[in-house]
Chain A
Amino acid sequence: MPKPTKGPRLGGGPAHERHIMANLATALFEHGRITTTQAKARRLRPLAEKLITKAKKGDMHNRRQVLTVVRDKGVVHTLFTEIAPMFAERPGGYTRITKIGNRKGDNAPMAVIELVREPMQAKVTTGRVATPAAAEAPAAAAAEAANEEAKTETVEAPEAGDQPAEGATSAQTEEATEVEQAEGDAKPETKA
């Protein structure tokens, strides 16, 4: 069962909120980006993304379901023929909300909600995994630094509040194998 929306409805009641959300969604699909209050943008995002998901399926049933929210047939047409193919590669996250500060007049926090038009790029997370060679140099440097820290820690006291496990293990190991072990220690550090 979907989790009910917390807090009061936008506008004067549930029906008013439905109208507001339908109008906002229509405007978003018509113009690509709209400026509204943060609260409305954050309510609009899940609705708009669900409509885009329906549009990506693209059959008549889904089109009728979208038409129950977005009443404008022209806008629904653009949604199905232009916006949905744009998001064919993208697995969700079709909209972007950027805060733009408070409105003059009533100090309401405003935001821009827009369709994400940038083409999908390779995942950013692959940068960490796919470049172990690039990570070697800083990892080695970090390992040396860790060794030095471990030595100083052994001299001073076992305070080591930040990196207790790494410092302790590298300190207990012998001097010859220290570098390799430190590299082994440093690699999970880069992953984390």
Chain B
Amino acid sequence: MAVPKRKMSRSNTRSRRAQWKTSAPVLVRCPQCRDPKLPHIACPTCGTYNRRQVVEPSA
């Protein structure tokens, strides 16, 4: 079985992991309750999409 010949240095490990970055999600205002929500997805706060009740509001 193929195995690594050398131990991966801390530097290389940390250099690789330095590229793991998060990005802020794009948010829009819900037309019904004005809360921020993800676009094209029913509002989790009031449960509406295009002012139509889709799901029960989650608390």
Contacts and interface: CB of A to CB of B under 8 A. Distances in A.
Asked if A pairs with B, the answer is yes
A100 B38 contact: no
Majority secondary structure of chain B interface residues (helix, strand, loop or mixed)? loop
Contacts of B40: 99
Interface in B5-52: 38, 40-42, 44, 49
Nearest to A118: B52
Q: Chain B: interface residue count, which band?
A: under 10
Interface in A71-99: 98-99
A101 B54 contact: no
Interface residues of A, number: 6
B54 A98 contact: yes
**A contacts with B: majority SS:** strand
B54 A112 contact: yes
Interface in A101-144: 101, 112
A101 B49 contact: no
A101 B37 CA distance: 10
Contact of A98 (B38, B42, B44): B42
Contacts of B44: 100-101
Contacts of A35: 55
Interface of B: 38, 40-42, 44, 49, 54-55
Interface of A: 35, 98-101, 112
Closest 4 CB pairs of A and B: A99-B41, A100-B42, A98-B54, A98-B49
